[in-house]
């Protein structure tokens, strides 16, 4: 993975990648069709195209978002009806726009710009750009998968400048809103060691990659209950104290990762083979090496710095040992 050390260094605190945006969401404008129509026509309005959920990005090693004017976008998009209002930047409107998969960068007159995957480019962007990109991707993905009414099956149409959809059958009229799914992700610890697992799906990941346990919050569950249930189901361990650390919006397609520390009670891990290939305890020294050398081949690796799993590991090391985790 190509890295920009200074960009990654920004995430060593409480602001995770995809969070910390400074765009004014201006939610009060979304239901004002006349106001949105006016914003679409302003000279300062800019549009970020997404092709198959990948945004247009400018530059190479130090990229930015590939904002286009309405004139540039009109070459491949007929009318502004699918423009998704993201908010205002210094009073100027910003929109995300899905474009057909057949669209090429040259069709947009985009010069050196290219469509790039969100995971690839996120570590290279500024805090503000990564946040805007994530918001746009989540909205684009939601609209692509919610074209029909969940009650009657009729087609739905976009309303509120892309922040809702309404059933087109007047006898139904159900309104849907973009959903965000809550996921708990927890660093399990006991007696100075932490528990990491290798998920079954990780066969396509680099050898040695281990991460925090994680799972969706179920209906009627609190965060603490979800942490305890998921840990027991996946690793066979009961958890006592649960402590919230921080959260991260994760636009794949749209989840909220709720990061916690959880203290395991006595007992030996017993994995669920449907979820995990392996699980084991790691010392602080082992975890420190895995964090510092996350992008190198080795016996233990953790996910990259753009993930909350990586940042939970760093925070736990910093809190409990005084070991130096300042270098990414």
Among 21, 131, 41, 154, CA closest to 92: 41
* 48-72 per-position pLDDT tens digit: 999 999 999 998 778 999 999 998 8
- Using DSSP's 3-state secondary structure scheme, residue 28 falls into helix
Q: Give residue 78's pLDDT.
A: 60
Residue-level pLDDT at 324: 38
Which pLDDT score is estimated for 44? 96
Measured in residues, the chain has a length of 328
Distance (Å, whole) CA 273 – CA 51: 37
Burial 236-260 (b: 16+ CB within 10 A, else e): ebebeebeebbbbbbbebbbebbbb
- Cα(81)–Cα(305) distance, rounded to whole angstroms? 37
Rounded to whole angstroms, how far apart are CA atoms 36 and 222? 38
Domain 5-145 -> CATH class = alpha beta
Closest CA to 290 of 280, 303, 277: 303
What does the CA dihedral 292, 133, 28, 79 come to, rounded to 10 degrees?
A: 180
Name the helix (H) or strand (E) containing 131: helix 127-145
Distance of alpha carbon 20 from alpha carbon 249, whole angstroms: 10
Of the candidates 48, 52, 47, 136, the residue with the CA atom closest to the CA atom of residue 102 = 52
**Phi, psi at residue 64, to the nearest 5°?**
-135, 175
Query: How much of the chain is in helix, strand and coil states, percent to nearest 5?
Result: 30, 30, 40
Q: Do the domains spanning 5-145 and 181-320 agree at the CATH topology level?
A: yes
Mention the CATH class of domain 181-320: alpha beta
For 145, the token pair is: 């998968």
Place of tokens 């892309």: 162
The predicted model scores a pTM of: 0.90
pLDDT of residue 4: 38
Q: Which of 276, 240, 270, 262 is nearest to 194 (CA)?
A: 262
- Give Cα 53 to chain centroid, integer Å: 13
Tens of pLDDT, residue by residue over 269-327, are 999 999 999 999 999 999 999 999 999 887 789 999 999 999 999 999 998 654 433 33
Q: Which parts of the chain register pLDDT below 50?
A: 1-13, 322-328
Q: Are 151 and 167 a contacting pair, CB within 8 Å?
A: yes
End-to-end CA distance of the chain: 14
Bridge partners (DSSP) of residue 189 are 194, 263
Structure token digits, residue 301: 């690796």
Distance in angstroms (rounded) separating the CA atoms of residues 277 and 271: 8
Quote the pLDDT of residue 106: 82
What residues does each domain of the chain span? Answer: 5-145, 181-320
């Amino acid at each position: 993975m190509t890295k920009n050390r200074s960009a990654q260094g920004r995430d060593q605190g409480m602001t995770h990648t995809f969070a910390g945006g400074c765009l004014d969401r201006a939610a009060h404008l979304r239901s004002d069709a006349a106001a949105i129509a006016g914003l679409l026509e302003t000279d300062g309005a800019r549009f970020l195209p997404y092709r198959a959920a990948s945004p247009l990005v400018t530059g190479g090693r130090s990229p930015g978002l590939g904002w286009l004017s309405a004139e540039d976008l009109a070459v491949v998009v007929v009318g502004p009806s699918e423009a998704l209002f993201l908010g205002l930047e210094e009073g100027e409107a910003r929109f995300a726009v899905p474009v057909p998969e057949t669209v090429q960068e040259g069709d947009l007159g985009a010069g050196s710009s290219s469509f790039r995957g969100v995971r690839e480019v996120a570590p290279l962007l500024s805090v503000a750009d990564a946040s805007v990109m994530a918001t746009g991707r989540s909205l684009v993905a939601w609209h692509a998968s919610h074209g029909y009414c969940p009650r009657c099956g009729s087609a739905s149409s976009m309303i509120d400048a892309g922040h809702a959809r309404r059933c087109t059958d007047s006898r139904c009229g159900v309104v849907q809103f973009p959903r965000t799914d809550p996921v708990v992700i927890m660093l399990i610890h006991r007696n100075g060691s932490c528990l990491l697992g290798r998920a079954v799906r990780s066969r396509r990941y680099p050898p040695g990659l281990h991460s925090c346990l994680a799972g969706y919050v179920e209906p009627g569950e609190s965060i603490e209950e979800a942490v305890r249930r998921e840990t027991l189901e996946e690793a066979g361990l009961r958890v006592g104290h649960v402590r919230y650390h921080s959260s991260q919006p994760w636009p794949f397609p749209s989840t909220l990762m709720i990061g916690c520390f959880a203290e395991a009670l006595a007992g030996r891990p017993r994995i669920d083979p449907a979820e995990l290939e392996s699980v084991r305890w790691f010392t602080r020294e082992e975890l420190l090496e895995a964090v510092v050398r996350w992008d190198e081949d080795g016996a233990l690796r953790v996910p990259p710095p753009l993930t909350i799993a990586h940042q939970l590991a760093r925070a736990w090391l910093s809190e409990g040992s005084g070991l130096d985790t300042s270098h990414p």
